[in-house]
């Protein structure tokens, strides 16, 4: 009887030891470095910035900055030139055969505005677009500051969700160039340089009627 009791006790100890070993092995396995070390990827991608629509202008750069009510013009020559910034060129697709430019409209007033859009038609890029919707805060020599948003829709980026840069944005022009390029033109969703340009388009020359011969 004593031998039977001893045998049962030993069997219980063996089973307990086996269970402990399996538990330890499983635990150590979960702590082992994985291919995603030091951290696994997030279950959900970051939310895309909703931008700053013209109807409710805000700036992520300065919370106490008030909404502009007048465009400051430090260069009349630059301002006159910028009124004809009526063409949009999107560098991401501009070199693809069949690419076309977009259009923009600058509206003068106490507070200038600029709005425009480019719908890509180059083969393989149909449905992608870029746009601008902003007010003009300041016009200086070779420099234009706007407040609003520039958006890019690319099918292969964030499943086609429009990615936006918003707030105070800067366009620079060099020397005698007729192109203002967005300084904050990196796509916030994939880091690509978009090369978003506003281009001066010379207005058509108004033809005067020929004098009538007497």
Evaluate whether residue 180 is within a structural domain. yes
Evaluate whether residue 21 is within a structural domain. no
Evaluate whether residue 214 is within a structural domain. no
Structural domain span for residue 104: 72-200
Evaluate whether residue 42 is within a structural domain. no
The span from the CA of 11 to the CA of 14, in Å, is 5
**Secondary structure (DSSP) of 81-118:** HHTTEEEEEETTTTTSTT---EEEEEE-SSS-EEEEEE
Evaluate whether residue 27 is within a structural domain. no
The count of domains in the chain is 1
Evaluate whether residue 26 is within a structural domain. no
Report pLDDT digits (tens) over 131-154. 999 999 999 999 999 999 999 999
Please state the pTM of the whole predicted model. Answer: 0.66
Q: What is the pLDDT of residue 66?
A: 67
Select the more confidently predicted residue: 103 or 21. Answer: 103
Evaluate whether residue 139 is within a structural domain. yes
Evaluate whether residue 7 is within a structural domain. no
Check pLDDT > 80 for residue 169.
Answer: yes
Report pLDDT digits (tens) over 18-56. 544 444 444 444 444 444 444 455 555 444 444 434 444
Average pLDDT, the chain: 79
């Amino acid at each position: 009887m004593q031998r039977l009791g001893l045998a049962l006790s030993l069997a219980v100890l063996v089973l307990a030891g086996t269970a402990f070993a399996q538990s330890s092995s499983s635990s150590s396995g979960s702590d082992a470095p994985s291919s995603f070390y030091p951290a696994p990827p997030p279950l959900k991608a970051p939310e895309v910035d909703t931008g700053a629509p013209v109807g409710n202008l805000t700036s992520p750069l300065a919370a106490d900055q008030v909404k502009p009510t007048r465009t400051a013009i430090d260069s009349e020559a630059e301002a006159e030139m910028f009124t004809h910034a009526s063409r949009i060129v999107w560098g991401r697709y501009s070199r693809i055969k069949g690419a076309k430019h977009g259009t923009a409209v600058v509206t003068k007033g106490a507070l200038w505005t600029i709005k425009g859009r480019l719908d890509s038609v180059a083969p393989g890029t149909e449905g992608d677009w870029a746009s601008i919707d902003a007010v003009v805060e300041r016009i200086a020599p070779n420099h234009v500051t706007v407040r609003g948003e520039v958006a890019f829709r690319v099918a292969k980026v964030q499943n086609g969700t429009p990615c936006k840069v918003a707030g105070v944005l800067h366009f620079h022009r060099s020397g005698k160039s007729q192109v203002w390029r967005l300084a904050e033109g990196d796509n916030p969703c994939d880091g690509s340089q978009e090369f978003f340009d506003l281009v001066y388009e010379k207005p058509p020359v108004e033809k005067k009627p020929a004098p009538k011969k007497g």
